[in-house]
Chains A and B, each alone.
Chain A
């Protein structure tokens, strides 16, 4: 298989299939991942082809899923677990934060925890409570975990391969509102490093930094700004832990302005860390304060209000205007 247009769902499915084929230690675990193929059909057909021993329908217990994945990893397996929706990861939060994140350090580096936790995250799908959240900062804050989020099908395919091959625990945030967006995937390409940012669109007047679902929004904003004669650079960060600060710095040294966009609440979010570091690193290059666009300090609202809550084109462009006005 070479280059092919795939949706993100299909790309993740293909990636899991490749991983199951190439490494007998890889296991898929989660609620409804078997016959149903997951509620988003990400694991569609995998149990049929690889059997119930490798694609494992688990009891309805997230702490159990992650806790047993830790045990399996200790025994040499590489579990890739699915959390059904962002809001349901919290029963497993204890296992992830107090155990998974710390065991490598506690064992003086002698044991490895190659566990991948896939979480469909983010809003704009008209769902009920607990199905639209962006908890990435809660994980990125924890030393010992790596957190990434692809924004397109090629990254979905390759970043998941790399996450599974990594000996560290990786929280793999899947932008569910973009699940059905299609783009080119070359399964024979040589991918860049998992934690490197990517310039999604070059520009000269201002840098928009985003990851996951907001990359597309930022690309749309950059296209709209172009019509007004503004040249925006869009950085797809791809990784929220570690963050590729060098790439952001290089971009900001060129454009001198930075706006960070994510769906999660702005307060103590990923953008806060980026703003602080870039201010330290680029103080004399900046023409405007680093601005953040994101969710409010409010619970994710009922779906009829999510368009107001989520950063859209208007809010991104508003921040761009404010930054350019300095």
Chain B
């Protein structure tokens, strides 16, 4: 999908004094918004976007299929087919908007929750499940879609993205790099160091923070006393807060940030203001720390319903489209289910595979001992 954005110029840091902006909710710093929660299109002076009906339907399709994939994975975990699942429910717009803003030659460094971004990058969704099923630690070749492996240790990948971007710049290439992380991760030293390095070396990297309001049980206030996007200023690059449930705004802002990076203007921080509608992972119990009303408030800002309202009000999608998409989602769910259930356990010897690129005598020795030991059971049972 190609998306045309006229917002290639350098974004300025938002200032609440500028006129003609959509009203921010009281007490909240301004959000870049192009589609209100009711699905009404609004303009923003710094970020604009002009999409064809087909492109709009494409974004909608991405979000619906991603949500369906995510729901299926949650169900599979409940059925014991996956050991764990980290749901993206509620964060579809943040992920699809930013994912669709990337070019094939850009490089993405995700956390463990970027299923929607993976979808945009062309990673087969079934490949995302091996790690959660416990059959592998990755499941895809990062270089095939320029989509790096999921990173569980919070914040580490921000540095990898920065280093990769430094390499891109050294090579004189005009691609960009995007690093995903959460609001909790903003507390990690690695993220602060990534900000420092990227600024100092003017690395073409976009930091995409999905502020879903929680780091397991800890609210964002446990990580910061200033809005996260404002952190960027202290490092010397721009930061912007975008409505993370507004796929159009996320797309426009991320396109602009990537374009900025590509044209040698250095890093930028995007804070996608969104909400984790479900539990942190399937192991988590949010009733311990969070009120139901909060989720209800955010349900009113649902990214998918919002775009649907817009599509319908403009007459850009009809019942046939929605029904067709429903069928497509069912098919995807079935494909995912079948793929997971038939996913084989790895061969025992995989324990010793790919530990070193050049081989290692100790591994060879232990592999041989392990094989002999395993074989001794086969002999016994013969």
Contact A130 B289 (CB under 8 A): no
Point out the residues of chain A lying under 8 angstroms from B110, CB to CB. Answer: none
Bound together, the chains give a CA A61 to CA B132 distance in angstroms of 24
A4 in contact (CB, < 8 A):
no
Q: CB < 8 Å: which of B135, B184, B289, B355 contacts A302? A: B135
Chain B interface extent, by class: 35 or more
Number of A-B contacts (CB under 8 A): 117
Point out the residues of chain B lying under 8 angstroms from A318, CB to CB. Answer: 373
Contact A301 B362 (CB under 8 A): no
Contact A32 B217 (CB under 8 A): yes
Q: CB < 8 Å: which of B84, B216, B360 contacts A36? A: B216
Q: CB < 8 Å: which of B112, B134, B215 contacts A303? A: B134
Bound together, the chains give a CA A306 to CA B134 distance in angstroms of 9
Q: Which residue from chain A places its CB closest to the CB of B83 in the assembled complex?
A: A126
Contact A36 B131 (CB under 8 A): no
Q: CB < 8 Å: which of B130, B223, B289, B360 contacts A59? A: B223
Contact A297 B218 (CB under 8 A): no
Q: Mark B99-136, 1 if CB is under 8 A from A, else 0.
A: 00000000000001000000000000000001111111
Q: Which residue from chain B places its CB closest to the CB of A303 in the assembled complex?
A: B134
Bound together, the chains give a CA A57 to CA B220 distance in angstroms of 12
Q: CB < 8 Å: which of A61, A130, A308 contacts B348? A: A308
Residues from 251 to 279 in A contacting B, C-beta threshold 8 Å: 267
Contact A60 B283 (CB under 8 A): no
Q: CB < 8 Å: which of B84, B217, B360 contacts A297? A: B360
Q: Which residue from chain A places its CB closest to the CB of B290 in the assembled complex?
A: A35
B346 in contact (CB, < 8 A):
yes
- In angstroms, how far is the closest chain B Cβ from the Cβ of A88? 6
Contact A61 B84 (CB under 8 A): no
Chain A interface extent, by class: 35 or more
Contact B352 A298 (CB under 8 A): yes
Point out the residues of chain B lying under 8 angstroms from A128, CB to CB. Answer: 83-84, 112, 131-132, 134, 152
Point out the residues of chain B lying under 8 angstroms from A32, CB to CB. Answer: 216-218
B24 in contact (CB, < 8 A):
no
Point out the residues of chain A lying under 8 angstroms from B173, CB to CB. Answer: none
Point out the residues of chain A lying under 8 angstroms from B285, CB to CB. Answer: 36
Q: Which residue from chain A places its CB closest to the CB of B345 in the assembled complex?
A: A304
- In angstroms, how far is the closest chain B Cβ from the Cβ of A132? 10
A59, A87, A127, most chain B CB atoms within 10 A = A59
Question: What are 27 A-B residue pairs whose CB atoms fall within 8 Å in the complex?
Answer: A32-B218, A35-B289, A39-B216, A39-B284, A57-B222, A60-B187, A90-B153, A91-B188, A126-B83, A126-B134, A128-B132, A128-B152, A129-B152, A130-B152, A297-B360, A297-B363, A297-B366, A298-B366, A299-B137, A301-B350, A301-B351, A302-B346, A303-B83, A304-B133, A304-B345, A305-B351, A308-B348
